[in-house]
Amino acid sequence: MSPDSAPGRLTIDLAALADNWRALAGLAAPGRCAAVVKADAYGIGLDRAAPALWAAGARTFFVAHLGEGLFARRLLPPEAEIYLLNGLEAGADPADYREHRLKPAIGSLEELARWSAFAARAGSPAPCALHLDTGMSRLGFSSLEALGAAMETHGALCGAGLLMSHFVSSEIPDDPLNALQIARFAAARAAFPHLSASLANSSGIFLPERPIYDLARPGYALYGGNPTPGRPNPMRPVVTLTVAVQQTRWIEAGATCGYNAQWTARRRTRLATLSAGYADGLPRGAGATDSRPGAEVAFAGRRCPLVGRVSMDLTIADVTDLPEDAVTAGSRAELFGAAVELDDFAARSGTIGYQALTSLGGRYRRDYAQGK
Reduce the DSSP state of residue 96 to 3 states and report it. Answer: helix
Residue 173 and residue 161 in contact, taking contact as beta carbons nearer than 8 Å: no
Which among 246, 207, 238, 245 is positioned nearest to 221, based on CA atoms?
A: 238
User: Which residue out of 42, 259, 278, 354 is catalytically annotated?
Assistant: 259
**Cα pseudo-dihedral 18, 19, 23, 26, rounded to 10:** 60
Instruction: Count each helix (H run) and each strand (E run) in the chain, helices first.
Output: 10, 19
Containing H/E element for 144? helix 144-154
d(CA 62, CA 69): 8
Closest CA to 213 of 234, 232, 190, 235: 190
Residue type at 321? Answer: D
Beta carbons within 8 Å of 121's beta carbon, 6+ residues apart: none
Question: Kind of pairing, strands 296-299 and 81-84?
Answer: unpaired
Distance of CA 12 to the CA centre of its chain: 14
Q: Has 259 been annotated as catalytic? A: yes
- What are the Cα distances from residue 354, in Å, to 204, 212, 226? 16, 22, 10
Catalytic residue among 38, 97, 213, 220: 38
| DSSP assignments along 299-357, one per residue | ETTEEEEEES---SS-EEEE-TTS-GGGS-TT-EEEEESSSS-HHHHHHHTTS-HHHHH
Give dist(CA 99, CA 93) in Å, integer: 10
Smallest CA-to-CA distance from 34 within 70, 11, 59 is with 59
- Catalytic site residues? 38, 259
